[in-house]
Amino acid sequence: MMDYKYIEQLLESYFACTTTLQEEQILRSFFSQEDVPGHLAQYADLFQYEAAAKEETLGEDFDKRILAKMEEETTSMKKKAVQLAINTQKESPRTHKAERGFIHHFSPFFKAAAVVAMALTIGRAAEHAIGEQEAEENGNVMAVDPYIKSSDVQQAIRVKDVSQAEMKATNDSILSITTKDEVQ
């Protein structure tokens, strides 16, 4: 059994991307032989692929084939566009008139629906404005939903006033305790 430590070191350098061009050539030459040892055989395809890939080149007629294919596609697309235009012109004018007749026939209903929608929107805005005005008259600046009963609003205001009174009493007691501590 031969010692392949140098090849193994070159492989490590190759995968670490630190090999020189000459060292890579040594690896390609080594893996191009037929009797590659079993533990290194897994890398043979990599270096044989590189050699085969370098040999592949585009033929002289490559540009001509690509241009011909592009021309064929362009011609096909033009034919489809012309056929579509012809089919569109062949459509019955009655179809378009029927569509226009449907819209024309139902347009009064569309107009009525728009008027109803506008009336509902204006009415809702007016109710909202009235609710805000009532809240300002009660001395509280807050948005009020017009569907809330005024008794519920008054109850909420009373709860708010009680909460404020409790807060003031708590603050006063804390203040009196701190002033007593400072005096002592």
pLDDT tens for the 184 residues of the chain, in order: 467 888 889 999 999 999 999 998 888 888 888 888 888 888 888 877 766 666 666 777 888 888 888 888 888 888 888 888 777 776 555 555 556 666 677 777 777 777 888 878 887 877 777 777 776 666 554 555 555 556 666 666 666 666 666 777 777 777 666 665 555 5
Is the separation of the CB atoms in 131 and 142 below 8 Å? no
- Take residue 108 and report the two structure tokens written for it: 């009064």
Residue with tokens 């011909």: 68
SS3 2: coil
Using a cut of 0.75, tell me whether the model's pTM lies above it: no
Residue spans per domain, the chain: 5-55, 62-90, 95-148, 151-184
Residue with tokens 């009660």: 138
